[in-house]
Chain A
Amino acid sequence: AQSVAQPEDQVNVAEGNPLTVKCTYSVSGNPYLFWYVQYPNRGLQFLLKYITGDNLVKGSYGFEAEFNKSQTSFHLKKPSALVSDSALYFCAVRLQSRRALTFGSGTRLQVQP
């Protein structure tokens, strides 16, 4: 069965510093990997996805993620955090054979001014 893990419930970072939100996955085939962000009282918004190709994927709002097949990881990164990046971040995985996403438990990112 496919699964995705976000080992950190919360990540705290100072504004202007780089941020990393971790995600590891477990699937039996080739994964499609996604990051979504959820702001308070809002639905999830798509940030970026990895399907194939370059391991470094660039997405919305200056975020990027690095696919590492050997470590089965897909960490979300941003070179310089903004206070407005504070939100709940979800990593998700989908197999080629399925339509639906399996989401991680979410990581709350708190960026301090």
Chain B
Amino acid sequence: DARVTQTPRHKVTEMGQEVTMRCQPILGHNTVFWYRQTMMQGLELLAYFRNRAPLDDSGMPKDRFSAEMPDATLATLKIQPSEPRDSAVYFCASGVPAADFTYNEQFFGPGTRLTVL
């Protein structure tokens, strides 16, 4: 059955290194969300895209984070340079917004667990 995939599932890196996380949304879903989950902050929205265009990235630290959708089947989240405080689980979700907003579930991927040493 269709599902959101994320790679890698786990990433351990050293402070200062670049990290790239990838997400493949469900085929046909034109809205993609990036969330970050930590014990302290809970689940936070970082950015979301519709039809590959960023609609809102206000939750994302602009100086080191960037999110893109090079095509409809791939979304990326990059951190450069990474810092220990970026350690978290990063979730991608996709969905299909309806004109009348009645169909609005987001389908979440399994997440990328990032550890920055």
Q: CB within 8 Å of B: which residues of A?
A: 32, 34, 36, 41-46, 49, 51, 90, 94, 96, 99-106
Q: 22 interchain pairs (CB within 8 A)?
A: A32-B101, A32-B104, A34-B104, A34-B105, A42-B110, A43-B4, A43-B93, A44-B91, A44-B93, A44-B108, A46-B106, A49-B105, A94-B104, A96-B101, A99-B31, A99-B55, A99-B56, A99-B97, A100-B33, A101-B45, A102-B45, A104-B42
What chain B residues lie within 8 Å of A96 (beta carbons)? 101
Beta-carbon contact of B110 and A103 below 8 Å: no
Beta-carbon contact of A90 and B31 below 8 Å: no
Given A46-B107, A99-B50, A99-B55, does the pair A51, B45 have CB atoms closer than 8 Å?
Answer: no
Q: Tell me the complex Cα distance, A3–B90, Å.
A: 21
* Interface size grouping (class) on chain B: 20 to 34
Beta-carbon contact of B111 and A43 below 8 Å: yes
Q: Tell me the complex Cα distance, A103–B108, Å.
A: 14
What chain B residues lie within 8 Å of A36 (beta carbons)? 108
Q: Which residue of A lies closest to B3 (CB)?
A: A43
What chain A residues lie within 8 Å of B111 (beta carbons)? 42-43
Beta-carbon contact of A101 and B109 below 8 Å: no
What chain A residues lie within 8 Å of B108 (beta carbons)? 36, 43-45
What chain B residues lie within 8 Å of A46 (beta carbons)? 105-107
Which residue in B33, B43, B110 is a CB contact (below 8 Å) of A90? B43
Beta-carbon contact of B104 and A105 below 8 Å: no
Question: How many A-B pairs with Cβ below 8 Å?
Answer: 52
Which residue in A43, A51, A100, A103 is a CB contact (below 8 Å) of B42? A103
Task: Give the 8 A-B CB pairs with smallest separation, nearest first.
Answer: A43-B108, A44-B108, A103-B43, A46-B105, A105-B42, A43-B110, A100-B45, A43-B109
Question: What is the distance, in angstroms, from A101's C-beta to the closest C-beta of chain B?
Answer: 7
Q: Tell me the complex Cα distance, A90–B93, Å.
A: 15
Q: Tell me the complex Cα distance, A108–B113, Å.
A: 20
Question: What is the distance, in angstroms, from B55's C-beta to the closest C-beta of chain A?
Answer: 6
What chain B residues lie within 8 Å of A42 (beta carbons)? 110-111
Q: Which residue of A lies closest to B48 (CB)?
A: A100
What chain B residues lie within 8 Å of A43 (beta carbons)? 4, 91, 93, 108-111
